[in-house]
Structure 1
């Protein structure tokens, strides 16, 4: 059973007026909802698989021309806005942008929240978060009452029960398409890989160069192919040092060379799509920009568990306190965050057109998504996350928009 939202105003996520200043507190319906069904990460693999003749797949991104061999290279943490701001560090990627001669690249939306576990599940399953059921960095497991970290898969939960849908790679493999993933050997048998990216062949390679060479070889291995490869360290540099640091710029320069290396090896009748799982924003280290939940008695009142991450919070109330928690969070944070009840967020389409019954209670009683350059940290319970320079998760363009760049042979 799913929870379909009531009719809501159509707010195109890429429409310019979606990012205008809103009256205070921010209306829930003013949040720019991801382009589920027409231009989100969840639509990419189904579009490519439909072009390969995989049954049941729909081409949600209609302007992509089918190819016999398809490769998706996902660069963790490389948002559309960050890429556009650094043309000198990424000359090859910049050549694929629409302003460049012959460039056809465009932005698509990550989905909410704009975070790695959620986005990778959306990519691999072709489903929005309300269906695949990984709707945040940490969410409550309704069966245990504990917070479950969906990136690290802690505490361990049976993967097939948590996310029961087949991946697009599995469906493609069943349809006779050569499906393959090329990534770090570390990810070969992780629960997140199992629920989000499994199906066909997994090939583990340590270096970025070896991954590009292996991805090209996997493309050439069959007349019809669907290949995925991944690079993580752009995201890591952004979290540790910020998205305009020398370290981050160095990672962008490196990944630009990787994309060019793969593009130059594409076998005939191939299409390479470069995308990302989210963008990122740097948040200053001061009390104006970083609100500490662990030191704020108002925000803590009535809260049993704090989930999500600093810019995309799931808030779980003690029994009977959800209404009071919602009112308090709106009063305290409503000028800087979109603050919604679970049902309001579902009705607004934040997690997709519908939310599966098994997913419904994983969502917070209250859900808070940052609009401004602000972070809701938890210094005691989340010391590592609270120390990050670069952050993501919400629906602002810097976090939500990711590139979709194309190279064809």
Structure 2
């Protein structure tokens, strides 16, 4: 049930008249599992980006899944945490450089990619670095059940600790590139150098810690020039933090977007010859109002809690683990209570619909919830007692709506 790289895209479940990027979708009421707009695994997802770039540099074991990307000798991926395609489109004044790249000016082209499900940082970074969808790399949520212990594991913070190589055994694209003689490097915050998430998702070649965004842009350009063939990754996190704390409608978030726009231009203007810069993100974001209608509190709702042993995932993308024998009852209850606001699927229904990719590795199967809940409306399933910090966030993400699922793929070439 394993595979080295994503197979062809599966469009199962997406309404024919509602492609990604469409301004309006016709959602059935109550929501059917098959109506969820499944990510474009195999042709237009985050997992397809690095294999395409590496294939263009002749790295064995990689495939050009996004054929419209022209090969370059030197490739840089700048991942901006929390920058959705919809947010770039909506803020031309704050991000003039990025907004221009949505079209075909400045020698580049822009299009959206789908993040993958769930649209959350740990999952997306693993998809980027391994070139695999979540069902293969095995980081299918913010928190998921570890079948070996029966406890929830936070895959972003890697708590409680578990052996990284056993949890995610596939090589990263950076490792494959390094073995093929490509100069591979990551330029990010020093904080991330030795984290398990970096090890399983982004390792290979050399890691270079730089504190400021400007330092990262300058050093990423240097690393691109360091090899005849180069694959460089750099990252900026603070836009996402501003969105979580203050929302994407806030002045603080817009100020961060203005800064990010200047960083992209700074890097683009330093590209060495024969280079391609790709600006992308791990997810978008939506602001959710603070009221009982939009924030459904699992800890205060006896119906939703009935038969549930563990609540995983996050507010807009929940993994629900039932008490043994209660799986069908939990599924029925969650559909009755939430079925007009969430896509509610059993584990096997979500797998069959392709939410986590075309295939599921055996080691990943039991990490998925018995019930999987993905938000359609601007709603959350919070847990005010067990997740107080997460429940207080203004901006949220995780599901398959355009605002959180679509991420930019903006290109600049030298």
TM-score by length of 1: 0.97
2:194 corresponds, among 179, 189, 193, to: 189
Counterpart contact for 1:140–1:147, Cα < 8 Å:
yes
Number of the residue aligned with 2:30? 25
What is the distance in 2 between the residues matched to 1:21 and 1:37? 25
2:267 corresponds, among 247, 250, 262, to: 262
* Root mean square deviation of aligned Cα: 1.8
Number of the residue aligned with 1:397? 402
What is the distance in 1 between the residues matched to 2:345 and 2:264? 40
Deviates more, 1:54-63 or 1:330-339: 54-63
Counterpart of 1:56 in 2: which secondary structure? coil
Number of the residue aligned with 1:214? 219
Number of the residue aligned with 1:331? 336
Number of the residue aligned with 2:251? 246
Number of the residue aligned with 2:207? 202
What is the distance in 1 between the residues matched to 2:23 and 2:59? 35
Question: How far has the Cα of 1:101 moved from its partner?
Answer: 7.3
Residue 159 to residue 16, structure 1, CA distance change in 2 (3 Å): closer
1:363 aligns with 2:368: yes
Counterpart contact for 2:20–2:402, Cα < 8 Å:
no
What is the distance in 1 between the residues matched to 2:21 and 2:220? 37
CA-to-partner distance for each residue in 1:125-164, whole Å, 9 max, x for gaps?
0000000000000000000000000000000000000000
Counterpart contact for 1:11–1:18, Cα < 8 Å:
no
Counterpart of 1:402 in 2: which secondary structure? strand
Number of the residue aligned with 1:235? 240
What is the distance in 2 between the residues matched to 1:148 and 1:164? 17
Question: How far has the Cα of 1:95 moved from its partner?
Answer: 1.4
2:308 corresponds, among 303, 328, 331, to: 303
Counterpart contact for 1:315–1:364, Cα < 8 Å:
yes
Flag structure 2 segments of 5+ consecutive residues without an equivalent: none
Counterpart of 2:328 in 1: which secondary structure? helix
Counterpart contact for 1:106–1:403, Cα < 8 Å:
yes
Number of the residue aligned with 1:167? 172
Residue 228 to residue 256, structure 1, CA distance change in 2 (3 Å): same
Question: How far has the Cα of 1:24 moved from its partner?
Answer: 2.2
Counterpart contact for 2:38–2:400, Cα < 8 Å:
yes
Flag structure 1 segments of 5+ consecutive residues without an equivalent: none
CA-to-partner distance for each residue in 1:209-255, whole Å, 9 max, x for gaps?
00001100000001000000000000000000000101000100001
Counterpart of 1:355 in 2: which secondary structure? coil
Counterpart contact for 2:288–2:378, Cα < 8 Å:
yes
Number of the residue aligned with 2:82? 77
Question: How far has the Cα of 1:21 moved from its partner?
Answer: 3.0
Counterpart contact for 1:116–1:278, Cα < 8 Å:
yes
What is the distance in 1 between the residues matched to 2:270 and 2:106? 22
Number of the residue aligned with 2:377? 372
- Structure 1 residue runs of 4+, over 6 Å off? none
TM-score by length of 2: 0.96
CA-to-partner distance for each residue in 1:335-374, whole Å, 9 max, x for gaps?
0000000000000000000000000000000000000010
2:348 corresponds, among 340, 343, 346, to: 343
Counterpart of 1:55 in 2: which secondary structure? coil
What is the distance in 2 between the residues matched to 1:9 and 1:319? 29
1:93 corresponds, among 86, 98, 103, to: 98
Question: How far has the Cα of 1:8 moved from its partner?
Answer: 4.7
Question: How far has the Cα of 1:94 moved from its partner?
Answer: 1.1
Counterpart contact for 2:13–2:38, Cα < 8 Å:
no
Counterpart contact for 2:52–2:63, Cα < 8 Å:
yes
What is the distance in 2 between the residues matched to 1:87 and 1:18? 18
